[in-house]
C-alpha cells in the first residue's frame, strides 16, 4: 500500500514557486498560504492547499502545532569531508592576523590537508555524517559537498568515497563535487599539479562516478584563470559540470570565466567587477553568495547581492561550511546575514536558500519548493510566519524536518 502523510494545523506555508532558478524581481515573489495543508504521497508532495478529502487513505496524520512550513534548505556550497578543526587559527585571526597571512605561514587549507590525509576513510564518513545531522537539525535537506583537502589522487578519492558512503545514511541528500583544484599541495607549489588533476585525478573520479561537479579556486596566489579554465574544461569533457570559487579575495575575472565555461554556479563574488555582474545577469550560471564567510573572516566586504539581483542574476545562498573560513551549518544564519548585511529581502533570501540553490545543483525540478510533484523536503519552523526566519535571529527555529516525506 502506498503511504500518505497529511501535515495539518500549519500557521503558514511560504515557498518560492518554480522548477528552475528564478532571477531578478521574480526572486521576491514567493507564495504564502494560510489555512492550508500539505499531503505527501510516497515521498512526494501530492497536494498543497485548503484541507479537503483525498481519494486515497491518509496513513499518517501530522499535527504541525501552528508551525510555518518552508522548503528544506538547499545548501549548494559546502566542504564536508575533512578532519581537524582550526580553532587556534581562528583565535590568531582574532588577534589580528589575516586569513591570507595564516595560509602563507603554513596554516589555512594546508593544515586541513595534513589532518585529512592522516584520517581514515571511516573517520571522514563519520565527520560528514556528524555535519549532515547538524545541517538537518537546522532545516537543510540537500547539500552539495566538496573534496579539496586531499590534493593528491588517493586522498581526493578518499574524500569523495566518504561523501558517497555517508550519503547512504545521511539525513541530508548529498551532491558530490571534486575540488582537487582547491590549492596546490603543501609539499610544493608545482604548476605540474594542474596536469595531475587533468590527467589523473579527474579521470579517476569520473570513472568511479564519484562526483557530479568539478570546482576550482581561481584566486591571486592560487590558480590562475587559465589553470582554472583548463581544469574545468577537462572536467566538462568527463561529464562533470563546472562550479567555480570566483572573485573571493580579488577580482580575478572569475565570474566571466564561470559564464564562459557554462558553470552551474560562480561562488563567493565578494570582489566581482561590474563586467562580472553583467555577465552573470545574462547567463544561467547561478551567483552563489556566501555571506557567512565574510562575517567569519571579519571582512567588511560582502558580495554585491543587490546589484546582482537588480541586474537580473539568479542568486543563491550557501553556508560554505568549512573549518577555516565559515564554521557553520546554519542556513538561517546565512539568511540573516543576507538580509541584514547584503540588503536582500527575506523573500529573496528564502528563494536563494531553497529553489535557486537547487537550480545550481540541477535539482530545481525535484526540490527547493513546496509544490505538487516535488520531493517532500520540508522544514517546519516554530514561528507564526516566514519573516521570523530573520526577525527572530540567532536561534534555531527548526522544529521538524521531512526529507522525501520521511520525518527526520
Q: Is 291 in the site for ligand NIG (CB under 6 A)?
A: no
Q: Which stretch binds ligand NIG (CB under 6 A): 205-213, 323-331, 342-350, 391-399?
A: 323-331
Q: Is 248 in the site for Fe ion (CB under 5 A)?
A: no
Q: Is 72 in the site for ligand NIG (CB under 6 A)?
A: no
What grid cell was written down for 317?
Answer: 545562498
Among 324, 353, 368, 405, binds ligand NIG (CB under 6 A): 324
Nearest CB to ligand NIG, comparing residues 75 and 320: 320
Among 248, 329, 347, 377, binds ligand NIG (CB under 6 A): 248
Q: Is 144 in the site for Fe ion (CB under 5 A)?
A: no
Q: Which of residues 89-118 bind ligand NIG (CB under 6 A)?
A: 108-109, 112
Q: Is 348 in the site for Fe ion (CB under 5 A)?
A: no
φ, ψ for residue 58, nearest 5 deg: -80, 125
Q: CA dist 268 to 78, 263, 319, 394, Å? A: 12, 14, 10, 23
What grid cell was written down for 395?
Answer: 536561534
* b/e 218-230 (16+ beta carbons within 10 angstroms → b): bbeebbbbebbbb
- β-pair partners for 31: 15
Q: Is 131 in the site for ligand NIG (CB under 6 A)?
A: no
**Number of other CB atoms surrounding residue 338 within 10 Å:** 28
Rounded least distance, CB 26 to ligand NIG, Å: 28
Q: For residue 234, is it left (φ>0), alpha (ψ between -120 and 50) or beta?
A: alpha
Residue whose C-alpha cell reads 545514511 in the numeric block: 169
Rounded least distance, CB 179 to Fe ion, Å: 8
Contact 90, 389 (CB under 8 A): no
Which partner from the list ligand NIG, Fe ion, none does 108 bind, CB cut-off 5 to 8 Å by kind?
ligand NIG
DSSP 24: G
Q: Is 320 in the site for Fe ion (CB under 5 A)?
A: yes
- β-pair partners for 33: 13
**Alpha carbon 56 to its chain's center:** 36
Which partner from the list ligand NIG, Fe ion, none does 293 bind, CB cut-off 5 to 8 Å by kind?
ligand NIG
Nearest CB to Fe ion, comparing residues 320 and 329: 320
Q: CA dist 42 to 3, 6, 283, 374, Å? A: 5, 12, 36, 11
Rounded least distance, CB 108 to Fe ion, Å: 13
Q: Is 229 in the site for Fe ion (CB under 5 A)?
A: no
φ, ψ for residue 304, nearest 5 deg: -75, 75
Q: Is 325 in the site for ligand NIG (CB under 6 A)?
A: yes
Nearest CB to Fe ion, comparing residues 117 and 268: 268
Rounded least distance, CB 79 to Fe ion, Å: 6
Q: Is 18 in the site for ligand NIG (CB under 6 A)?
A: no
| Number of separate helices (H) and strands (E) present in the chain | 16, 18
**Number of other CB atoms surrounding residue 163 within 10 Å:** 27
Q: Is 215 in the site for Fe ion (CB under 5 A)?
A: no
Cβ-closest position to ligand NIG: 324
What grid cell was written down for 213?
Answer: 561537479
Q: Which residues here bind ligand NIG, judged by CB under 6 A? A: 108-109, 112, 217, 245, 248, 293, 320, 322-325
* Interface positions with Fe ion (CB under 5 A): 320
Amino acid at each position: 500500500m502506498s503511504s500518505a502523510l497529511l501535515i495539518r494545523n500549519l500557521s503558514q506555508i511560504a515557498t518560492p514557486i518554480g522548477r528552475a532558478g528564478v532571477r531578478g524581481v521574480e526572486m521576491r515573489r514567493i507564495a504564502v498560504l494560510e489555512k492550508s495543508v500539505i499531503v505527501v504521497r510516497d515521498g512526494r508532495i501530492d497536494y498543497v492547499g485548503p484541507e479537503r478529502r483525498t481519494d486515497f487513505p491518509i496513513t499518517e496524520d501530522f499535527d504541525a502545532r501552528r508551525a510555518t512550513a518552508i522548503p528544506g534548505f538547499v545548501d549548494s556550497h559546502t566542504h564536508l569531508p575533512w578532519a581537524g578543526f582550526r580553532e587556534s587559527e581562528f583565535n590568531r585571526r582574532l588577534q589580528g592576523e589575516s586569513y591570507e597571512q595564516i595560509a602563507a605561514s603554513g596554516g589555512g587549507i594546508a593544515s586541513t590537508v595534513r589532518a585529512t590525509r592522516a584520517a581514515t576513510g571511516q573517520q571522514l564518513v563519520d565527520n560528514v555524517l556528524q555535519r549532515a545531522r547538524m545541517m538537518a537539525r537546522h532545516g537543510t535537506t540537500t547539500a552539495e559537498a566538496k573534496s579539496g583537502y586531499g590534493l593528491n589522487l588517493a586522498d581526493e578519492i578518499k574524500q569523495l568515497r566518504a561523501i558517497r558512503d555517508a550519503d547512504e545514511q545521511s539525513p541530508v541528500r548529498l551532491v558530490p563535487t571534486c575540488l582537487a583544484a582547491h590549492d596546490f599541495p603543501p609539499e610544493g607549489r608545482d604548476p605540474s599539479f594542474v596536469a595531475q588533476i587533468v590527467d589523473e585525478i579527474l579521470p579517476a573520479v569520473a570513472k568511479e562516478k564519484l562526483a557530479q561537479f568539478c570546482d576550482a579556486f581561481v584566486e591571486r596566489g592560487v590558480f590562475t584563470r587559465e589553470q582554472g579554465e583548463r581544469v574545468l574544461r577537462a572536467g566538462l569533457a568527463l561529464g562533470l559540470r563546472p562550479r567555480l570559487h570566483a572573485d573571493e579575495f580579488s577580482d580575478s575575472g572569475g565570474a566571466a570565466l564561470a559564464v564562459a565555461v557554462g558553470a552551474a554556479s560562480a561562488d563567493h563574488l565578494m570582489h566581482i567587477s561590474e563586467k562580472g555582474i553583467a555577465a552573470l545577469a545574462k547567463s544561467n550560471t547561478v551567483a552563489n553568495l556566501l555571506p557567512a564567510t565574510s562575517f567569519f573572516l571579519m571582512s567588511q566586504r560582502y558580495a554585491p547581492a543587490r546589484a546582482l539581483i537588480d541586474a537580473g542574476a539568479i542568486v543563491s545562498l550557501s553556508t560554505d561550511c568549512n573549518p577555516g573560513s565559515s564554521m557553520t551549518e546554519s542556513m538561517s544564519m546565512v539568511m540573516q546575514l543576507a538580509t541584514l548585511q547584503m540588503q536582500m529581502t527575506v523573500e529573496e533570501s528564502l528563494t536563494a536558500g531553497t529553489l535557486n540553490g537547487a537550480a545550481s545543483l540541477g535539482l530545481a525540478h525535484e526540490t527547493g519548493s513546496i509544490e505538487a510533484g516535488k520531493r517532500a523536503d520540508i522544514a517546519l519552523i516554530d514561528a507564526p510566519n516566514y519573516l521570523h526566519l530573520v526577525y527572530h535571529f540567532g536561534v534555531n527555529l527548526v522544529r521538524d524536518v521531512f526529507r522525501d516525506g520521511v520525518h527526520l
